[in-house]
Structure 1
Amino acid sequence: MIFHLSIDCREPRRVAGVIAELFGSNIVVPFPPVGNGASFMALAGDARNSGVEVYPRGMGLQLVDGVDEAVGVAGEGAPSATHFAMATPLDEAQVLAIGAREGWTARVCNRGGQFDVIEFWIENDRMVEVLTAPMQAQYLRLGSVEQGLAAV
């Protein structure tokens, strides 16, 4: 199951609004962790808290040594912003072991004090947020529209 994905575009607020309209929810919230106030999230308002993070064009996510979470970077040659959050039936140790087996960074991170994810860096340059069952419960409880994802 995919919880959210991200894209970059020229007009993030406008694009998030259109996506929210297509969801039938018209729910758009700021997404402050990436883009310094220029990113937004369109929320479907469904039971899975499905959403699309919309970053400014040229904004990407990068794995940085010594930093505990993905870092938003902008400019020519920036990495891709595209990522998604997915559910897994595996436990944390199993997910981390797969990352170690492949030689890819996999680490547990907390998103704004709201919920945990495992940043799973495919080939160490494309992030997938993997959520174990306890993380899914956090995401569904604290990442909901009702609880104000804008606080993340």
Structure 2
Amino acid sequence: MSLKHLSLNAEEPQRVAMLLATLLGGEALPFPPFPDSWIAFSGADDGSAIEVYPNGHRLKAGPDRIECYSGQPDRNHSFVHAAFGSPLTADEILAAAKREGWLSRLCDRGPFRCIEIWLENRILVEVLDPDMQKDYREGMTIGNWKAMFGLE
């Protein structure tokens, strides 16, 4: 297994992301898909990153993709999630989640594809098979992020 990214909530997402980017020897940038969120990239520029969201943000499994909402914290949803690489194939990953009865699906995040698995149908993990990991390393770079969201 190799960790690709981790997300967390903070009172001051930009401030937290700036410090994390400093510690990672990288760069902090806005995270446009979710309002008021930031991402701290590693200086290795290999896609390793920590996403930082406002405390009120929560994720839930929408009909076709992740949905974000803001509000009071609750026990059923969180913005904390992780993406990691697996040696298993996409079919094996999906079959393992299906055996547990948990929502899982193949997703296209733009710069990479992954399999969303909602552990206990409430906690998100993004799992990447070996081919997806290659796409992740190539797509999730600081330069590609800036170009994708017009942050240059």
Q: Same fold (TM over 0.5)?
A: yes
Displacement of 1:149 after TM fit? Answer: 5.7
2:47–2:139 Cα contact (<8 Å) kept: no
Q: Work out the number of aligned pairs and report it.
A: 146
Alignment of 1:1-152 (within 5 A): 1-25=2-26, 27-34=27-34, 36=35, 38-46=36-44, 48-64=46-62, 66=63, 68-78=64-74, 79-111=77-109, 113-148=110-145, 151=148
Distance in 1, matches of 2:84 and 2:147, equals: 20
Are the equivalent residues in 2 in contact too, given 1:29–1:150 (CA < 8 A)?
no
Structure 1 runs not aligned, ≥5 long: none
So what's the TM-score if we normalise by structure 1?
Answer: 0.89
The structure-2 alpha-carbon separation of the partners of 1:144 and 1:84, relative to structure 1 and needing over 3 Å to count, comes to same
Identity over the aligned pairs, expressed in percent? 38
Give the residue type in structure 1 aligned to 2:141.
S
Instruction: Write the distance in 2 (CA, Å) between the matches of 1:151 and 1:39.
Output: 16
Which ranges of structure 2 fall in alignment gaps of 5 or more residues? none
- SS of 2:59's equivalent in the other structure is strand
Q: Is the 8 Å Cα contact of residues 46 and 138 (structure 2) preserved in structure 1?
A: no
